Structure 1
Amino acid sequence: MPAWIAITVTAALFQCWRTALQQKLRGELSVNAAAVVRYLYGVPVGAALVALYAFGSGDPLPSLTPWALLFCALGGFGQILGTNLLIMAFGYRNFAVGTAYSKTEAVQSAVLAALLLGEFLSPVSWLGIGVGVAGVLYLSLSGRGTSPAEMLRGITQPAALCGIGAGFCFSVTAVFIKAANQSMPGDDLIYKALVILVATNALQTLMQGAWLLRTEPGSIRAVFATWRSSGQVGALSALGSACWFSAFALAPVAMVRTVGQVEILFTLAFSRFYLREKAKPADFIGALVVVAGVMLVLLGRR
């Protein structure tokens, strides 16, 4: 099995775990403050990963070129903007539609990567991406009383537009992170990905931190007062991003994003075995469709 597949599945697991922990912060921190802790507490964890990798490899630290720094800043800003758009989608009445449309990220990533990075996929992989997105959409809408026809009719709703925008921003983030890796000297793609992680998280801390200081100065104290729980969220975020960034460097962006949709399977498993929630038949159907999409993507590898 190629390394990037295992790395991507690990990234999805860390992301699911981080999301579960971050829910506990909702009562202690504002939306912006909760976002800041992901980056602020992620920087030292990322730096530790770089130090460990440097010690193990014995190679000098890869240098960040001006282009790489620019791509890190653009990718980091894209992630911040995408997260905010997704939160905005929750604020509208039909938030299920907004969430579902954000799941088109894999398709948008495939188009952007082809246009900007020259990553062209086989027809089978394209089919797999479509099937995987359909499975995630089905799971997102299952039990919410929103049919596919209603979803299509609602494409011009603010929630849907925010969801599409969020998916686009997350796609832009993936493409720019890979571009940053490609613009740095050296052949060790994972080493470069870890350095990019630290640079991106530091820039995100500055960007989101400056906004928090301007709009919610009272939340700064809470960011540091909740260091125990916030530190765990930041650590899991950094570990997940380290895996995502490494996978982007090793494989086409769209394929990584499609395989990464197994995160929703981890969410279902967490709901079933930890929260003891009863699974619906629709959950099994959607899960099988997602798995089928992932298998098609892998079968279509060139």
Structure 2
Amino acid sequence: MAFSWILFTFMAAFMQAWRNAFQKQLSTTVDVWGVTLARLIFGLPLAIIYIYSLYHFSPTKAVVHFSPKYWFYIVIAGSSQIMATALMVQLFKQKNYAIGVGLAKSEAILAAIIGVVFLSDHLSLYAWFGVILGGFAVFLLSRGHQFTGFSPKTLVIGIGSGLCFAITSLLVREASLELTMLPTNIHRASWVLLSVISFQCISMLIYLGLFSRQTLVAMWQRLGLTFKVSFCSFMASLGWFTAMSMISVPIVKTLGQIEILFSLLISAYFFKEKLAKAEHWGLALVVIAAILVIWA
């Protein structure tokens, strides 16, 4: 169980890479908020099925209690993730697919800084080196396309997305730490996952139902693709939330940068985008950074 967070992180990275690919496809016919809701609409029933199955196969007599602080974390984390996803979709439209993902990967460094400064988190010297090396690797991956069409707007959207994702990840972990009455990290993460998805899904449905019903119609017209986005998003969140309940967020997110490898492969073979030489160096550094944080 000591290294189970690694398996959950790899699963999350792999599924998130596919989720981003499907989101890019969906964004051609559905607006930003519809693509954001697509991550959640089928995720809610999947989360309910998951927590029911977990308690069926791994029952516990512990009764879960939700403190006001827990709900504060859930609401802020859920809102931040919605904004992060919306910015990510906008980023896809500013740059090509691979760079869009790469710029938002500032999340790991931002999570490390925020966690240490505001949440009394602690990272070893090796872990800090791995996080920083991972950030430099992302920079190399972005330079692989020579910043074609790069603009300050792209940078702001990318950093903004990374910051919102970092806040989400840190508060998800804080929410999980509030559920000390539950026996395992997996049980704690399952409740946090259900809580976040429920808040997000209900909020988005109410908003779009009141102000943008045509978006719901557009999603219905691409139901199959919407389901693919939801399923991959749910599996990714399941992996992230569980891993982050086990170990520090910057560690998880640095290892999770292996997602870039999956994203670039999808970019090359699914979207037929060519990879530059600098990206090979970037990928090598991502692997080294991942080894460092595992070692740390």
194, 214, 218: which one aligns with 1:222: 218
Query: How far apart, CA to CA, are the structure 2 residues paired with 1:140 and 1:177?
Result: 28
Task: Tell me how far 1:138 sits from its aligned partner.
Answer: 1.0
Contact 1:99 1:140 in 2 (8 A): no
**Percent identity for Structure 1 against Structure 2:** 27
Write out per-residue CA displacement over residues 195-243 of structure 1, whole angstroms, 9 at most, x where no aligned residue.
1111111111122223323432222233344333312221211111011
Q: Residue 170 of structure 1 aligns with which residue?
A: 165
Q: Which residue type is aligned with residue 38 of structure 1?
A: R
Residue 280 of structure 2: aligned partner: 284
Normalising by the residue count of structure 2, what TM-score does the alignment of the two structures yield? 0.88
Where does structure 2 lack aligned partners over 5 or more consecutive residues?
none
**Moved segments of 4+, more than 6 Å:** 93-99
SS at match of 1:194: helix
1:294 corresponds in structure 2 to 290
CA shift at 1:162, angstroms?
2.7
1:7 corresponds in structure 2 to 8
Map 1:1-302 → 2, pairs under 5 A: 2-60=3-61, 62-89=64-91, 101-145=103-147, 157-184=152-179, 185-272=181-268, 279-299=275-295, 301=296
Relative to the length of structure 1, the TM-score reads 0.87
| Residue identity in the other structure for 1:49 | Y
- Shift of the 145–214 alpha-carbon distance from structure 1 to 2, 3 Å rule, reads same
**2-structure distance, mates of 1:68, 1:289:** 37
Judged with a 3 Å threshold, the aligned counterparts in structure 2 of structure 1 residues 221 and 95 are, in CA distance, closer, same or farther, namely closer
1:19 partner SS? helix
Given that 1:102 and 1:164 are in contact with CA atoms closer than 8 Å, whether structure 2 keeps it comes out as yes
Query: Which residue type is aligned with residue 3 of structure 1?
Result: S
Q: For the Cα contact (< 8 Å) 1:62–1:191, is it kept in 2?
A: no
Q: Is the 8 A contact 2:169 2:244 kept in 1?
A: yes
Q: Pick closer, same or farther for the CA change 1:25–1:101 going to 2, 3 Å.
A: closer
Structure 2: how far apart are the matches of 1:232 and 1:90? 18
Q: Structure 1 residue 95: deviation in Å? A: 11
Alpha-carbon separation, structure 2, partners of 1:200 and 1:2: 25
Count of aligned pairs: 293
Q: Structure 2 CA distance, aligned partners of 1:79 and 1:134?
A: 24
Distance 1:294 1:236, change over 3 A: same
Query: Which one-letter code corresponds to 2:290 in the other structure?
Result: V
CA contact (8 A) 1:103 1:137 kept: no
- Alpha-carbon offset, residue 98 of structure 1: 7.8
- CA deviations over 1:132-172 (Å, ceiling 9, x no partner): 111112112212346xxxx9xx7xx3332332222111111
The 1:145/1:77 distance shift into structure 2, 3 A limit, reads: closer
- Of 246-255 and 30-39, the range deviating more from structure 2: 30-39
**Residues 1:142 and 1:171: Cα distance change in structure 2 (over 3 Å):** same
Change (3 A) 1:279 1:52: same
Closer, same or farther: CA 159–278 of 1 in aligned 2, 3 Å: closer
- Give the SS at the match of 1:186: coil
Q: Which amino acid aligns with 1:67?
A: K
Q: Distance in 2 between matches of 1:295 and 1:32?
A: 37
Deviation at 1:112, TM superposition (A): 1.5
Kept in 1, the 8 Å contact 2:73–2:175? The answer is yes
Tell me the CA shift for residue 100 of structure 1. Answer: 5.2
Shift of 1:295: 1.5
The one-letter code sitting in structure 2 at the alignment partner of 1:141 is: R
Corresponding letter in the other structure for 1:176? L
Deviation larger for 223-232 or 240-249: 223-232
Q: 1:110 to 1:93 in 2, by over 3 A?
A: closer
Report the 3-state secondary structure (helix = DSSP H, G, I; strand = E; otherwise coil) of the residue aligned with 1:223. Answer: helix
